[in-house]
Structure 1
Amino acid sequence: MLLSLPLYRGIFTEMMKILLINPANAGILRAVGVQFPPVGPLYLGSYLEREGYQVEIWDFCTPGESPNYSKYDLVGISTDTTRHNKAMEIACRAKQAGCIVVMGGPHPCYIDEEILASKWVDFIVHGEGEVTLLELIRALEEGGKDWEGVKGLSFQRDGKVVRTPPRPVIEDLDSLPLPARHLIDMDLYRRTKFGDRPITPVVTSRGCPVNCNFCSSSSFFGRRWRARSPDSVVEELEELHNKYGFGAVAFVDDNFTLSPERVVAISEGIIRRGLDMWWWNFSRAENIVKNEEMLEVMKRAGAKTIYIGVESASPQTLAELGKRMDLHTVIKAVEVLKRHGFQIFASYILGSPRDKAKDIHETIRFAKRLDTNVAQFSILTPYPGTALYEGLKERIWHRHWPFYDSQHLVYKHEHISFIRMEWLLLKANLLYYTRSKEAMKDVWQLAKRHKWGWGTLLQFIRDYFWGK
Structure 2
Amino acid sequence: MLLPATLVFRFHKNTRYSIAALLGAVETDSRLEDVRLVAPPELDLESISNALEDGLTVIAYSILSTDTTRVRKEVQLVRKHFGDSVVMIAGGAHASARPVEVLNFGFDYVIIGEGEKAFCDLLDCLMHGKGTNDIPGAISGKMNNPPVPKDLPKVDLDSYPPFALKMNVVGPIEVTRGCPYRCKFCSTPFLSGGRVRHRSIETVVEWLEKAVTKRGFNRIWFLSPNALCYGGPGRRAAPGKLESLLQTATSIDGLEEVYFGSFPSEVRPEFVDSDILDMLRKYVANETLQIGLQSGSDEVLRICNRQHTVSEGLEAIGTSLDCDFIPHVDMIFGLPGESQDDVRNSIDICHKIVNIGGRIHAHVFMPLPGSAFEHMPPGKLDSDTQAELGELARKGVLTGSWYQQEEIAKRLARLN
TM, length-normalised to structure 2: 0.81
Match of 2:164 in 1: 180
Match of 1:43 in 2: 21
1:433 shift after superposition:
4.2
Structure 1 window deviating more from structure 2 (65-74 vs 222-231): it is: 65-74
- Aligned positions of 1:306-321 closer than 5 A: 306-321=289-304
Distance 1:55 1:264, change over 3 A: farther
Percent of counterpart pairs with the same letter? 20
SS at structure 2 position matched to 1:344:
strand
1:155 aligns to 2:140 (yes or no): yes
Distance 1:317 1:462, change over 3 A: closer
Distance 1:425 1:64, change over 3 A: farther
1:227 shift after superposition:
0.4
2: distance between equivalents of 1:424 and 1:462?
14
1: distance between equivalents of 2:113 and 2:407?
31
* 1:192-241, Cα deviation, whole Å (9 max, x unpaired): xxxxxxxx523112111111011111111111110011232234444445
SS at structure 2 position matched to 1:103:
strand
Match of 1:22 in 2: 11
Match of 2:252 in 1: 273
Question: Which has the higher relative contact order, 1 or 2, with Cα contacts under 8 A spaced 6 or more apart?
Answer: 1
Q: Is the 8 A contact 2:9 2:38 kept in 1?
A: yes
1: distance between equivalents of 2:57 and 2:12?
19
SS at structure 2 position matched to 1:182:
coil
* 1:266-314, Cα deviation, whole Å (9 max, x unpaired): 111134335320414221111112xx33322321112422111101111
Match of 1:426 in 2: 386
* 1:32-75, Cα deviation, whole Å (9 max, x unpaired): xxxxx822122222222222422424242xx7956622315211
Q: Which amino acid aligns with 2:387?
A: K
Q: Is the 8 A contact 1:77 1:104 kept in 2?
A: yes
Distance 1:24 1:92, change over 3 A: farther
Structure 1 window deviating more from structure 2 (223-232 vs 275-284): it is: 275-284
SS at structure 2 position matched to 1:210:
coil
2: distance between equivalents of 1:463 and 1:367?
20
Match of 1:168 in 2: 153
1:353 shift after superposition:
2.2
2: distance between equivalents of 1:205 and 1:465?
30
- Aligned positions of 1:305-454 closer than 5 A: 305-371=288-354, 372-390=357-375, 392=376, 396=377, 410=378, 418=380, 421=381, 423-433=383-393, 440=396
Match of 1:294 in 2: 276
1: distance between equivalents of 2:119 and 2:87?
12
TM, length-normalised to structure 1: 0.73
Unpaired runs of 5+ residues, structure 1, are: 1-11, 26-36, 187-199, 397-409, 412-417, 447-459
RMSD (Å) for aligned C-alpha atoms: 3.0
Q: Is the 8 A contact 1:148 1:164 kept in 2?
A: no
1:100 aligns to 2:87 (yes or no): yes
SS at structure 2 position matched to 1:74:
strand
1:252 aligns to 2:223 (yes or no): yes
Q: Is the 8 A contact 2:43 2:74 kept in 1?
A: no
Match of 2:111 in 1: 125
SS at structure 1 position matched to 2:330:
strand
Q: Which amino acid aligns with 1:175?
A: S
SS at structure 1 position matched to 2:139:
strand
Q: Is the 8 A contact 2:5 2:36 kept in 1?
A: no
Match of 2:236 in 1: none
| Alignment equivalent of 2:103, drawn from 93, 101, 116 | 116
1:19 shift after superposition:
1.7
1:244 shift after superposition:
3.7
2: distance between equivalents of 1:150 and 1:64?
28
Matched pairs, number? 379
Distance 1:115 1:245, change over 3 A: same
SS at structure 1 position matched to 2:368:
coil
2: distance between equivalents of 1:130 and 1:148?
17
Match of 1:79 in 2: 63
